[in-house]
Structure 1
Amino acid sequence: MRATLAAGLLLAASASPALAQYADTISGTVEVASDERRRGLSWSDGEPVVRGSVALQATDELSFDAAATSLWSSDRHGGADAVVDFGASYARQLGGWRLSARGTYHLFPGASGQGYGQFGAGAAFLIGPANIDLNASYAPRQGSIGGDNLYLSAAASAGIPGTPLTVSAHVGRSSGSVRDEGNAARLRPGGTYWDHGISVDYLQRRWFAGVRYANSSIDDARHSGATLIGRAGITF
């Protein structure tokens, strides 16, 4: 099953060059990573993953995207074999600020009753060579996540002059209400917590690679402590 799923992910993502022959607004990526870590939590139980994504820039402001990531029967997400993320974003440039709004739905093939949706907003601006991003994402009360979930984050990134390297860092805080402790532990094991990380990424033409340090304030949960994550891929 793992081999079949990985082949399917690669096939779906590699279809994007063919689509790009007909629309310059379509792009895609294929990558491998040593872990699927989101908000300080491993979604793949610490296992390596394969990811494919496709994005469509419908207008200057509106875009749509989809991504599929292998999870290999993730315990965190009810034994799901993968997560498929469907998203839509709207962004406007207002002076030196770029304001955005986004909606996302997470689907978990191979598991029952695990899907959930969220929406959010962000503001980005430049300070010298650095790009600063402030974001808020909210998942309304849903049975699959045992309540609701609010994630606030701040991030900064900057290219290293004269090199193809970019350095970025972030800090985030997860909070929310709890109606079902078991399901709420998917996104907030132990309740409200902080996560942080720093990464260095290399981009040369269509190829990219990077290493990321990730950690969280969670004391008693699997696959949430300090780790280094490597990744490599190609864009189309």
Structure 2
Amino acid sequence: MKLSFTVAGAALLLATQPAFAQGETDPPKEITVTGSVALVSDYRFRGVSQSDEEIAVQGGLTVTHSSGVYAGTWASNLAGWGTFGGSNTELDLYAGYKVPVGGGAIDVGLTWYMYPGGSDKTDFAEPYVKLSGTIGPVSLLAGVAYAPKQEALGNWSFTGANAQAVLAGGAYDNAGDKEDNLYLWGDANAGMPGTPLTLKAHIGYSDGNPGLGPNGTSVAPTGKYCDWMLGADMAIKGTPLTVGVAYTDTDIGRRESAYLLPNFSSTKDGSTIAGAQVVFSVSAAF
């Protein structure tokens, strides 16, 4: 469940762009290695907290060939949303092909979401297509991610009560069920002239399993919902650091998600993990 809405993702995307030296231009490298590390106050995936509304440490590494082929990995600690098991760590492996098209670029690839040491039924693959470009000072991106039917996306537990019963040794409502998942999203970023600030925005739409999968998790817990984000990043002059703040929210209401409780709530106070939240972040790209 790769982070999309904090500066960690933004820094990594920026870091993968070709760099050109001032004055004399060096020949492009065949292989480029880039990456980032980040500390975020809450790991939000498509608007839903994956870290129980607590701090997460994240990092990624991408290897890109001059042909446009790339591969990489990204990881974050987890807590609070279902029971991932093992080390409660998410490890994403991804690969794809990005080529220029007109004044923008098209990026086709696949992400494998895995949870080391946990249940292998929670791992799943998600192909994606992204189209990016610019309009004046604004960078735009539109994406489609479609995960075909897999057990990790299935409706194994119809309610949070059943998910809790499974943890106590009970049976799933519908063990082995396979479902698919569709995610549509758009991002916009704009640098503020004469300042180190970049404004950012995101909107997404999920359509998937309206229940709980293996280990009480779900990519689209209520089936269909929207998420959005507004924020800003500030590059710290003379350092590789960027600090960010973002307001993120979903249209998942308390009543709509009631059947998912207690899984779909903070372990601290029972509050919703899909509600409005301000997320702070600091990252370093290399």
TM-score where L is the length of structure 1: 0.83
Question: Percent identity at matched positions?
Answer: 31
3-state SS of the aligned residue for 2:73? strand
Q: Deviations over 1:9-32 (max 9, x none)?
A: xxxxxxxxxxxxxx9711222211
Q: Does residue 29 of structure 1 match 2:36? A: yes
Q: Which whole-Å deviations, capped at 9, do the CAs of 1:146-190 have from their partners, x for residues lacking one?
A: 111000011111001111111110111000356xx3218611122
Q: Which amino acid aligns with 1:145?
A: L
Asked whether the equivalents of residues 31 and 63 of structure 2 are also in contact (C-alpha less than 8 Å), the reply is: no
2:208 matches 1:208: no
Structure possessing the higher radius of gyration over alpha carbons: 2
Q: Is contact 2:153-2:218 (8 Å) kept?
A: yes
Q: In the alignment, which of 117, 120, 124 is matched to residue 116 of structure 1?
A: 124
Does 2:178 correspond to 1:172?
A: no
1:129 counterpart letter in structure 2: P
2:136 corresponds, among 125, 128, 143, to 128
1:78 partnered with 2:84: yes
2:62 — aligned with what?
55
Corresponding residue for 2:279? 229
Task: Name the count of aligned residue pairs.
Answer: 212
- Among 121, 135, 153, the alignment partner of 2:185 is 153
Quick one: structure 1 residues 163 and 94, their matched pair in 2 at CA, closer, same or farther if it must change by over 3 Å?
Answer: same
Secondary structure class of the residue paired with 1:144? helix
Q: Which runs of 5 or more structure 1 residues have no equivalent in the other structure? A: 1-22
> Aligned equivalents of 1:102 and 1:183: distance in 2?
24
Separation of aligned partners in 2, 1:94 and 1:201: 28
Name the CA distance, whole Å, in 1 between partners of 2:31 and 2:180: 38
Structure 2: 5+ residue stretches without partners? 1-29, 155-178, 258-263, 266-272
Q: Which has the higher contact order (CA 8 A, sep 6+)?
A: 2
CA contact (8 A) 1:58 1:64 kept: no
The residue type paired with residue 143 of structure 1 is: E
Q: TM-score, normalised by structure 2?
A: 0.70
Which residue number in structure 2 is paired with residue 11 of structure 1?
none
C-alpha RMSD of the superposition: 2.0
Q: 2:224 aligns with which of 169, 172, 192?
A: 192
Quote how far apart the aligned CAs of 1:96 are.
Answer: 1.4
CA contact 2:31–2:66 (8 Å) conserved in 1: no
**Letter of the structure 2 residue corresponding to residue 230 of structure 1:** F
Cα distance, 1:110 vs structure 2: 3.6
For each residue in 1:194-214, what CA deviation from the matched residue of structure 2 results, as whole angstroms up to 9, or x when unmatched?
A: 000111011234111101111
- C-alpha separation between the residues in 2 aligned to 1:144 and 1:177? 10
Conserved 8 A contact 1:216-1:226: yes
Change (3 A) 1:166 1:58: same
Distance 1:212 1:145 in 2: 28
